Amino acid sequence: MIKKAWKWMVILLVLLFLYLPILVLAVYSFTDAANIGAIRGFSVHNYVTLFTTPELRDMIWGTVVLAVVSALIATVLGTLGAIGAFYSGKGMSSVITTMNQVPVVNADVVTGFSVCILLVVVFGVSKDTFIPLLAGHVTLCAPFVFLSVIPKLKQMDPSIYEAALDLGAAPFTALTRIVIPQIFPGIVSGFAMAVTLSLDDYFVATYTKPATFDTISTYVVNATKGAQTSIKTALWALSTVIFLLVVLFTVVMNIRANRDIPERKGV
């Protein structure tokens, strides 16, 4: 019994470490306080600031649009790349896989810096065109799409594709109607991963973004250094909103996963 209690203590302590800051900030986001520790009355003005300040709204939308666009491009490229690499000869396949591994193991600082050097310094592409930023984010994300599609290709039964061809389907039709549906879960999780990576990125964005554009990460990092209190506390509200969205998303995912299991058994 004592041992069990001790185990739960460990779990609880780690959870406290992970969540206490976010929760305390969430509580304080509903007050007028400019610092943690001061006790003030209830207020929603941080949320009002968050949703009405154009600067904040733009940076949130900018981050989301960037994440979705770069994840879409990364998903198309990575998926095609995975299919191509999987059906190529050994040599070609291992060349692509090795190149793919570079951004995965590389530090984001190095990825961002090297893309910036190539596009901005060598080719002279202006950062204001958003091309370096988009290229940087696709470079960051596509390898993870590739990595989540490859296992699905390996699990697939190759004879179904052959059967489709024997039954008269053109290779392209067989691809879109046989291969793609079977690897679809991999594509979806790759896309989700790409979105997460892009949303969380700081380094690639800092080195490649236009000076007037900010993502949540670059904005928050600058804001915490600045002295503008109203912006700082509005970010507490943002943190709380994102936290609640993540919780909601996780709960929905879990409910769906639990509902899917009996259905799968039925099949």
Q: Which of residues 49-68 bind another protein (CB under 8 A)?
A: none
Contact flag: residue 129 with another protein (CB under 8 A)? no
* Binding footprint of another protein, residue count (CB under 8 A): 95
- Residues 182-241 touching another protein, rule: CB under 8 A, are 185, 189, 192-194, 196-197, 199-200, 202-203, 206-207, 216-217, 220-221, 224-225, 235-236, 238-239
DSSP string, 92-155: HHHHHHHHHHHHHHS-HHHHHHHHHIIIIIIS---GGGSHHHHHHHHHHHHHHHHHHHHHHHHH
Contact flag: residue 144 with another protein (CB under 8 A)? yes
- Residues 8-47 touching another protein, rule: CB under 8 A, are 10-11, 14-15, 17-22, 24-25, 28, 35-37
Binding mask 145-164 for another protein (x = CB under 8 A): -xxx----------------
CB atoms closer than 10 angstroms to residue 96: 17
Question: 30, 70, 103, 133: which one contacts another protein (CB under 8 A)?
Answer: 103
Task: Output the CA torsion sign for 187, 191, 196, 200.
Answer: positive
Judge contact between 62 and 214, C-beta under 8 A: yes
Distance, in Å, from the CA atom of 12 to the CA atom of 189, rounded to the nearest integer, reads 30
Judge contact between 66 and 244, C-beta under 8 A: no
Per the DSSP assignment, residues forming a β-bridge with 42 are: 31
Nearest approach, Cβ of 52 to another protein (angstroms)?
19
The distance of Cα 55 from the centroid of its chain, to the nearest Å, equals: 23
Nearest approach, Cβ of 194 to another protein (angstroms)?
7
Contact flag: residue 99 with another protein (CB under 8 A)? yes
Binding mask 76-95 for another protein (x = CB under 8 A): -xx-xxxxxxxxxx--x--x
